[in-house]
Amino acid sequence: MPKQLVLQHGRLSPSVEARLIEEFDIVRSGEQTDSMAIIRQHADAITAMATSARHGVTAEVIEALPRLRAIASFGVGYDNLDVAFARGRDIAVSYTPDVLNDCVADLAWGAMLDLSRGLSEADRFMRRGDWPKGAFRLTNRVSAKKLGIVGLGRIGRAIAQRASGFTMDVRYHNRRPVSDVSYVHESDLAALAHWADYLVVAVAGGSDTRHLVSKSVIEALGPKGYLINIARGSSVDEDALTKALQAKSIAGAALDVYSTEPCFPEVLAQLDNVLLLPHIGTATHETRAAMGELVIDNLKSFFETGHLLTPVPVA
Residue 49 is given by DSSP the state E
CA-angle at 159, arms to 308 and 81, nearest 5°: 35
Among the options 279, 285, 304, 307, which is catalytic? Answer: 279
In angstroms, how far is the first alpha carbon of the chain from the final one?
38
Q: Where in the chain is the domain with CATH 3.40.50.720?
A: 5-99+286-305, 101-276
Q: Within a 10 A sphere around the Cβ of 210, how many other Cβ atoms?
A: 15
> Is 261 known to be catalytic?
yes
Of residues 162, 232, 238, 288, which has the active-site annotation? 232
Q: What DSSP state is assigned to residue 186?
A: -
Which residue is catalytic, options 261, 266, 293, 304?
261
pLDDT digits (tens, 9 = 90+) for 82-140: 999 999 999 999 999 999 999 999 999 999 999 999 999 999 999 999 999 999 999 99
Quick: pLDDT tens for 38-50. Answer: 999 999 999 999 9
Contact 73, 95 (CB under 8 A): yes
The three-point CA angle 106-159-123 to 5° equals 40
Q: Catalytic annotation on 232?
A: yes
Query: In which band, very low, low, confident or very high, does the pLDDT at 2 lie, cut at 50, 70 and 90?
Result: confident
User: What is the per-residue pLDDT for 281?
Assistant: 96
> Is 23 in the active site?
no
Domain 5-99+286-305, second-level architecture = 3-Layer(aba) Sandwich (3.40)
Our measurement of the distance from residue 296's CA atom to the centroid of its chain's CA atoms, rounded to an integer in Å, reads 21
Handedness of CA 186, 187, 191, 197 (dihedral sign): positive
Residue 315 has pLDDT above 80, yes or no: no
The pLDDT of residue 154 is 93
Q: Which CATH number fits domain 101-276: 3.40.640.10, 3.40.50.720, 3.40.50.20, 3.40.47.10?
A: 3.40.50.720
Q: Tell me the HSE value of 207 on the side-chain side, using a 13 A CA sphere.
A: 5
pLDDT digits (tens, 9 = 90+) for 158-193: 999 999 999 999 999 999 999 999 999 999 999 999
For residue 314, the model assigns a pLDDT of 80
pLDDT tens-digit readout, 264-276: 999 999 999 999 9
Q: What integer best gives the mean pLDDT of the chain?
A: 95
